[in-house]
Structure 1
Amino acid sequence: MERPVRHGGGGGSWEEVRGAVAGNGSCVVYAAVDDWVPAELHAPELAADLGPDHARLVRMPASRNRDRFVAARLLLKSAAGAVLDARARELELAYKPGGRPYLRGIDQLDVGLSHTEGLLVVGLTRVGRIGVDTEPADRRMLELGTEHQACTPHELEALERVPPERRNRELVRLWTLKEAYSKAIGQGLRFRFTEFGFGPPGGPVRMLRPDGTPAAGREWTFHSWLVDDAYTVSAAVHDPGFGEGTPPLSDPGSSAS
């Protein structure tokens, strides 16, 4: 998996998304919320574009959360349609218990979805399952108790070795990786984050047991990116056919633009 593909606002293209999935099996797409919010939320064609989600839309009060809800689903269906060579409105987005999205009647493409503030993130994979998560890179988490709710003993020790000015961003990275993994397995926040951890940045991202020993096998790959120096985006991909001769995904530590 390469760095995320920007779509909208003058960047990215559906050809790039199709090529990324064809070449790598998986792709993460991101876009600004404002680029995907329809000008008219009561337009008749929006009902066809959203499908069953339109009923949820009409019950939602006007808010930024409603904007993100609509924009995220339009981006997901458009990205999936580009990969599947189908019109977005021909795809029906449904949800498993716990809220994990999937495309009804389509088993050759798994999808993931996340959004925060002004950013939308969609994950697409043909190889197995995918989960994605995003948070503002500077979201305050440190010294609020979050680290003790989200980190293993090994991660807490590692955090103490991170320079203070980078410690909060590292906690955000760990949080998004755990969210992405728990979404991929359909557990969300029901899965205790203190039961699994991740290694430091700068190399292949590995899942670790609470004591810091390796946990998940090579069928799981994990990736984190810093987008526009403002958002942390993470993805977890499960490939049941992952071969021993194929190198795991690595964390490039780059900012997508």
Structure 2
Amino acid sequence: MLSPPIAVTPDRGDWPAVRACLSAHGSAAVYGELAAWSPDDEDSPALRAVLGRDWPCGRIGEHAPSRRRYIASRLLLKHTAAAALRAEATDLEMAYGLTGRPSVWGCDQIDLSLSHSDALLLVGLTSRGRIGVDAERADRQLHGLRMARSVCTPGERNALETLPEEERNDRLVCLWTLKEAYTKAIGQGMRFPFTAFGFDLGPPEDAGHPGCRPPRLCRPDGTPCEGTAWSFRTDVLHLGDVAFRVSTAVRDAGLGRTANIEAATTLDPEIFAAVSGALAEPSG
């Protein structure tokens, strides 16, 4: 069971709710507003300490909005990992895979995913296996741009055609975010063809509404995939007057839920000791 995304702010006041969600379900999604997570001083020593090796990457380029979004999203990412691990953000270092997938360096029991759209920042975290999250503005125009043919399976296109014209774009945005979340979770991103798999969202009045049947993963011919390893959720979040469609995909690796994911028990012991010792030493 996946829970709705939790709103968080830099003051850390919302983190107990995130830890409670992780304890109950093994997975959580959090979101924040770009303005709230954007630092006033991009050159402050405190920011450099938190971002670590991400700080110079955030300083590359002269495009201020892109730089601001990079820094804010990494702050949310690192504080989310720190809250889950009951560690300080300055004590953790982020690593990135070949596709840009984030992880906590030396930690093999949690998985992270990051997405952002406009003013929304979104992070997914799980101790069960693999997670992917994606966010898009709900009013992003996809229908009418021939996107359905490149994004949807034949069954999904047929389902779109049964909807009133004014509902088709919302359904297409929903499918897009679910497919982005799923391919992020499997580590492929958009390299994996979106027409190679589909989703059954249920009746139009149910799709994406809390309390209704969650999305189901399907084969290209529309038949449901067997097994219960995957869980999906899609929601609509609001920041002011702007609505965002956000989706989460989690694959349960079948190893059971890890009850204790504190940093000292999930980081490789030698790495944890080395990092902690280095941080404790006075600088030369």
Question: Structure 1 length normalisation: TM-score?
Answer: 0.90
Q: Is the 8 A contact 2:111 2:126 kept in 1?
A: yes
Q: For residue 134 of structure 1, what is the aligned residue in structure 2? A: 135
What amino acid is aligned across from residue 222 of structure 2 in structure 1? G
Whether 1:214 aligns to 2:215 is no
The Cα shift of 1:12 comes to 6.5
Q: For residue 225 of structure 1, what is the aligned residue in structure 2? A: 235
Report the secondary structure of 2:63's partner residue. Answer: coil
User: What number of residue pairs does the alignment pair up?
Assistant: 243
Q: Map of 1:34-53 to 2, 5 A cutoff?
A: 34-53=35-54
Structure 2 CA distance for aligned equivalents of residues 147 and 93 of structure 1: 36
Q: For residue 156 of structure 2, what is the aligned residue in structure 1? A: 155
Cα 1:82–1:194, aligned 2, differ >3 Å: closer, same or farther? Answer: same
Report the secondary structure of 1:41's partner residue. Answer: coil
Structure 2 CA distance for aligned equivalents of residues 9 and 147 of structure 1: 38
Q: Map of 1:193-208 to 2, 5 A cutoff?
A: 193-200=194-201, 201=207, 202-208=212-218
Q: For residue 166 of structure 1, what is the aligned residue in structure 2? A: 167
Q: Is the 8 A contact 1:111 1:122 kept in 2?
A: yes
Identity score, percent: 47
Q: For residue 238 of structure 1, what is the aligned residue in structure 2? A: 251
1:45-83, Cα deviation, whole Å (9 max, x unpaired): 222111111121121223222211111110111111111
Structure 1 CA distance for aligned equivalents of residues 5 and 226 of structure 2: 23
What CA RMSD, in Å, does the superposition of the two structures yield over aligned residues? Answer: 1.7
- From the CA coordinates, give the structure whose radius of gyration is larger: 2
The Cα shift of 1:215 comes to 2.1
Q: What 5-or-longer segments of structure 1 have no aligned partner?
A: 244-257
Q: What 5-or-longer segments of structure 2 have no aligned partner?
A: 202-206, 257-284
Structure 2 CA distance for aligned equivalents of residues 2 and 11 of structure 1: 20
Cα 1:192–1:19, aligned 2, differ >3 Å: closer, same or farther? Answer: same
Structure 2 CA distance for aligned equivalents of residues 176 and 164 of structure 1: 20
1:67-100, Cα deviation, whole Å (9 max, x unpaired): 1111111011111111101001211111111111
Q: For residue 19 of structure 1, what is the aligned residue in structure 2? A: 20
Q: Is the 8 A contact 2:59 2:67 kept in 1?
A: no
Moved over 4 A (4+): 9-12
Report the secondary structure of 1:107's partner residue. Answer: coil
Q: Is the 8 A contact 1:176 1:234 kept in 2?
A: yes
What amino acid is aligned across from residue 29 of structure 2 in structure 1? V
The Cα shift of 1:155 comes to 0.3
What amino acid is aligned across from residue 123 of structure 1 in structure 2? G
Report the secondary structure of 2:159's partner residue. Answer: helix
What amino acid is aligned across from residue 79 of structure 2 in structure 1? S
Q: For residue 262 of structure 2, what is the aligned residue in structure 1? A: none
Structure 2 CA distance for aligned equivalents of residues 64 and 222 of structure 1: 31
Report the secondary structure of 1:230's partner residue. Answer: strand
Q: Is the 8 A contact 2:60 2:67 kept in 1?
A: no
Whether 1:97 aligns to 2:110 is no
Cα 1:216–1:140, aligned 2, differ >3 Å: closer, same or farther? Answer: farther
Q: For residue 266 of structure 2, what is the aligned residue in structure 1? A: none
1:15-34, Cα deviation, whole Å (9 max, x unpaired): 00010001110000011010
Q: Map of 1:64-83 to 2, 5 A cutoff?
A: 64-83=65-84
1:150-196, Cα deviation, whole Å (9 max, x unpaired): 10001000011122111101100000000001111110110000000
The Cα shift of 1:216 comes to 5.5
Cα 1:32–1:216, aligned 2, differ >3 Å: closer, same or farther? Answer: farther
The Cα shift of 1:44 comes to 2.0
